[in-house]
Amino acid sequence: MVEKALEEISRGTAEVIDMERIENLVSKYYDDGSTYTVKAGFDPTGADLHLGHTVLLQKLRAFQNHGGRVQLLIGDFTATIGDPTGKSETRKILDNDTIMANAKTYQEQVFNILDDSKTEVVFNSTWLNELGAAGMVALATTFNVARMLERDDFDKRFKGGQSISISEFLYPLLQGYDSVELKSDIEIGGTDQKFNLLMGRHLQRAYNVGKEQAVLMMPILEGLDGVQKMSKSLNNYIGITEEPKEIYAKTLSVSDELMWRYYELLSEKSLEEITTMKEDVEKGTLHPKIVKENLALELVTRFYNEELATLAKEEFDNVFKSNQLPSDMTEIEVEEGIWICKALVDAGIEPSTSQARRDIKQNAVSIDQEKISDDTLNLAAGEYILQVGKRKFAKVKVG
């Protein structure tokens, strides 16, 4: 039992520090039922969760299945600083209302995956607001600049002659201090959080908490481009609240290589199954497209249900395999004789008439499935289906 639990817990991890401690906690749970705490911090800087977040959430869920009590930390205080992780420049700070609104949406979405009876949501402003100047100074004395500069992103920026704000030095300290307050047994985070996560251990020691948290790091999920990490700001993400057909379509658009990565980090399928599929694809007995479709179906099913997943697939196949039209598209009514470019802008499928002209010149625009080439065209009364590229459609009523 303990063996299986540990296997589930270690699946897909990038690095674990103090695995022994995790083993002890889990086996103690199976011995006498005593629970332990697992901390994970979320920065309420964006409103919606995407698949990148779910990698961590699923791991938390795994802990919950084996005696872990999750401390879901909303970094509302630290969000006012901005985590320097992976940033090449100082991040813009957010105002309080936005942060609170984001935190709220987070909580609504998180319990898609987490068991809320085993989750405690905490805000770090609760204790950080109380810390005060003296507390901050005491906290800052536990660390020094040279070690802070060891951090890769600071180091790069420092050597590259870019600005680092003093407040950014405080970020790792404050995140680590959260672990002191929460007396966490384990903290999990992305590999890019390593420095911050280790800070938790350092500070738990410095403040004599009586234990040092184990640290479990998950790989960073690449975004749809397969290169950069999935993030809202890079617009390469799949949000968990997106429409089923969006999730389906976006999943299908990832490269074959990246698909295996997604399987590893996101799918519930066992590692053996995945390996078998991979071999079959290499042997040529299994088409990679089928494998990708299954992944897309699994993801839609997770956030909605099987029925909607099937629908999403049917819709997708209709539109792109049989070249039919999507079942729903934006509809607008316009006046007779409207200029085609204007109509495209009004329908929201082109950002400007200039762009519309360019696209028409490049054979990207069609009316009722017929490509057009005249960018001075005016529409006579009637109903038309306008299309730009492969995926932007609109129904226009003229007259």
The residues binding RNA (CB under 7 A) are: 158, 161-164, 225, 249, 252-257, 288-289, 292, 316, 320-321, 338-339, 341-342, 345, 351-355, 357-359, 362-364, 376, 378, 388-392
From the CB of 398, what's the least distance to RNA, in Å?
A: 12
* Min dist. Cβ of residue 161 to RNA (A): 3
Contacts of 240 (CB under 8 A, 6+ apart): 48, 49, 50, 51, 53, 54, 109, 112, 303
Nearer to RNA, 80 or 353 (CB): 353
Separation of alpha carbons 71 and 73, rounded Å: 6
For residue 367, the minimal CB distance to RNA (Å) is 13
**Cβ 88 to RNA shortest distance, Å:** 7
Closer residue to RNA, CB minimum distance, 79 or 224:
224
DSSP letters, 163-186, are ---HHHHHHHHHHHHHHHHHT-SE
Map 73-129 to HEC letters.
EECCCHHHCCCCCCCCCCCCCCCHHHHHHHHHHHHHHHCCCCCHHHEEEEECHHHHH
Nearer Cβ to RNA, position 177 or 303? Answer: 303
Burial pattern 42-54, b for ≥16 Cβ within 10 A else e, equals bbbbbbebbbbbb
Task: Give the CB-side neighbour count of residue 190, counting CA atoms within 13 A.
Answer: 15
CB nearer to RNA: give 208 or 323.
323
Nearer to RNA, 208 or 233 (CB): 233
Residue 294 phi/psi, 5° resolution? -65, -40
Cα–Cα dist 259/253, whole Å:
9
What's the closest the beta carbon of residue 198 comes to RNA, in angstroms? Answer: 25
Query: What is the closest distance, in whole angstroms, from the C-beta atom of residue 299 to RNA in the complex?
Result: 14
Of 168 and 187, nearer to RNA (C-beta) is 168
Minimum CB distance to RNA, residue 386 (Å):
13
Cβ distance to RNA smaller for residue 96 or 162: 162
Beta bridge partners of 71: 39, 120
Rounded to whole angstroms, the Cα distance separating 112 from 44 reads 17
The tokens of 301 are what? 């099913």
Tokens representing residue 325 in the block: 């039209």
Gap between the Cα atoms of 320 and 328, Å rounded = 14
